[in-house]
Chain A
Amino acid sequence: MRRVVITGIGMVSPLGSSAEISWQRILEGKSGARRIEGFETEDLQTKIACQVPLGDGTDGTFNPDDFMLPKEQRKVDDFIIYAVAAADQAIADSGWNPETEEEQNRSGTLIGSGIGGLQGIAETAIMMEEKGPRRVSPFFIPGRLINLASGYVSIKHKLKGPNHSVVTACSTGAHAIGDAARLIALDDADVMVAGGTESTICRLGIAGFNACKALSTGYNDEPEKGSRPYDKDRDGFVMGDGSGVVVLEEYEHAVARGAKIYAEVVGYGLSGDAYHITAPASDGDGGYRCMKAALKRAGISLGDVDYVNAHGTSTPLGDEIELGAVERLAGDDAGSLTMSSTKSATGHLLGAAGAVEAIFTALAIRDQIAPPTINLENPSVETEIDLVPNKAKKMEINYALSNSFGFGGTNASLVLKKVES
């Protein structure tokens, strides 16, 4: 199998309009959670979220006009705009501009989303009830389809290789990167633009996740405290919007053109809980097997891993189940393990989470620093694992693992490795 490395990163997150800005704010312990702006929350249980900070593009705000013409923005849901922006950044960062037919044919896209254009579907359904079916726009369908994130990015950058997408709820971003890496490893492509994107912060999205009892409801008056993985006072996740996209590249291809390399994707594991539609299996078996599969692919054990970027969403059930699975897999090595949840800062970006977190994991390797789990004041259980409470930790990181688990009992783990230059 061919080796695959990350040579470009791009991001739109609740913490800012780029990967570097978001990463700096994470290391500073900042939270992206605020009171929801843009729609009525009076009758919703949850009134907080981690929304992308819109603005004129300065001071880390996101200006969609920097990436897409206003007339194009009108046709699509935000998840597509975020993906186009993150992909633009990642491709520019990688320096890869496929110009020849052959280069374009060997470069593909694989960007997924958990839910897709929920807001547009809700708005259009209401409009159709009021005005009738003849008022439904021809852009309604293509602007809501999940794989149109890949579609738009491929058209903009002339990527004519594999054009694919993933829909696995909160594991989407990790599956997208893992699957894309396999396409390169198996010689279906040399370069893949891969990641996840999401924009579900709308009335229907909040109401739907509230009905599942998944969201935090007790921190409406102090939003930045709402996402608190492993803390005993956690009460659900805080929803986030945004996108993370990476450029994956075959190792020799990257070296030949002198590309900078963030990390190598050395492991990818997948598993299913086969247990419940929303709750994780109580013994953490799905997560355990998924990490084990990724480590097997990497040819290492969890004891070799320095840093774990946890799924850790801040739900009462999930955090401890994941922690238990990691402890079980680490065995006697648990004491030397460092694991944090960057969702404490970004909230839960659902289908984008795995991609955003793979990027943070790659940056942790680049900068040799573990990002903190903020709001961790009183851990709900004792553990030997260092959960990096509230303050980033400088440390040696050669191998790092990132977990993503989703509704439907779908699990994915990625293992990244430092590449010596």
Chain B
Amino acid sequence: MSNVAEQVKKIVVEHLGVEADKVVESASFIDDLGADSLDTVELVMAFEEAFGVEIPDDAAETIQSVGDAVKFIESKQG
């Protein structure tokens, strides 16, 4: 797992209070990890803070799963 993926996973575990083994790439924040719409807003903010990237609102809407987040952040950093 990449560094970004490791860190994303850690943030998700911390914010959503879920078991680490459930935070797989395909896991949807809302459908699989019990987040609500406010949780996802906060998650995106936490990603911005942790990775020093800006995630505009229209991009944030496309980030629905752990994998989406990793992909977006890696594309910004690459």
Contacts and interface: CB of A to CB of B under 8 A. Distances in A.
B49 A135 contact: yes
Given A69-B17, A71-B16, 5 more contacts: A71-B14, A134-B45, A135-B49, A138-B38, A139-B42
B45 A137 contact: yes
19 contacts: A69-B17, A70-B17, A71-B14, A71-B15, A71-B16, A71-B17, A72-B17, A134-B45, A134-B48, A135-B45, A135-B49, A137-B42, A137-B45, A138-B38, A138-B41, A138-B42, A139-B38, A139-B42, A142-B38
A138 B40 CA distance: 9
Interface in A365-388: none
Lowest 7 A-B CB distances belong to which pairs? A71-B17, A138-B38, A138-B41, A138-B42, A137-B42, A69-B17, A139-B38
A306 to B, nearest CB: 49
A137 B16 CA distance: 14
Interface string B20-44: 0000000000000000001001100
Contacts, number: 19
Interface residues of B, number: 10
A138 to B, nearest CB: 4
B58 to A, nearest CB: 15
Contacts of B45: 134-135, 137
A7 to B, nearest CB: 33
Interface of A: 69-72, 134-135, 137-139, 142
Contacts of B14: 71
A72 B42 CA distance: 13
A142 B49 CA distance: 22
Interface of B: 14-17, 38, 41-42, 45, 48-49
Contacts of A134: 45, 48
Contacts of B17: 69-72
A253 B35 CA distance: 38
A188 B13 CA distance: 43
Nearest to A71: B17
Contacts of B16: 71
A255 B25 CA distance: 55
Contacts of A142: 38
Contacts of B42: 137-139
A389 B55 CA distance: 63
B43 to A, nearest CB: 10
Nearest to B46: A137
A72 B39 CA distance: 11
Contacts of A138: 38, 41-42
Contacts of A69: 17
Contacts of A71: 14-17
Contacts of B41: 138
Contacts of A137: 42, 45
A243 to B, nearest CB: 23
Pick the most buried of B14, B16, B38: most chain A CB atoms within 10 A of its CB.
Answer: B38
A138 B41 CA distance: 7
B30 to A, nearest CB: 14
Contacts of A70: 17
A1 B73 CA distance: 63
Contacts of A72: 17
B22 to A, nearest CB: 14
A88 B15 CA distance: 24
B53 to A, nearest CB: 12
A69 B42 CA distance: 17
A84 to B, nearest CB: 16
Contacts of B48: 134
Contacts of A139: 38, 42
A354 B34 CA distance: 38
Nearest to B38: A138
A257 B41 CA distance: 45
A70 B48 CA distance: 22
A222 to B, nearest CB: 42
